[in-house]
Amino acid sequence: MSLNSESKNNVKGQRPPLFRKMNYILMGVGALLLIIGYICLSGGNVPDEVFDGEIFNTRRIVVAPILIFLGLAVEIVAIMWHPKVPKSENE
């Protein structure tokens, strides 16, 4: 490949960025869901000698795992999301 054809590729046919604005927005939403899920999952600071029934409440058993799962799903979608780019008339 000659130097001239490489310079034409860089100027004329530049690749679009890997992630676009929508990808970053989705990544932020996914990270926020993960953080909220882990905060909901965290327990109190109760000593080991005392049994606390709060560890079995709905927030820790149901809500937190759902938020974490949704956060991971949104992160996967954010990475895989590729918007349709209209083709130019020359291609």
- Tell me: the pLDDT tens digits for 31-86? 999 999 999 998 777 777 788 778 888 989 999 999 999 999 999 999 998 877 77
CA distance linking residue 82 with residue 23, whole number of Å: 8
Q: Report how many domains make up the chain.
A: 1
Average pLDDT over residues 17-29: 92
Strand, coil or helix: what is 60? Answer: helix
Residue 9: band (very low, low, confident or very high) from pLDDT cuts 50, 70, 90: very low
- Phi, psi of 42, rounded to the nearest 5 degrees: -65, 145
Domain assignment present for 90 = no
Domain assignment present for 78 = yes
This prediction has a pTM of 0.72
Domain that holds residue 69: 24-43+51-83
Residue pair 39/67 in contact (Cβ under 8 Å)? The answer is: no
More confident position, 34 or 6: 34
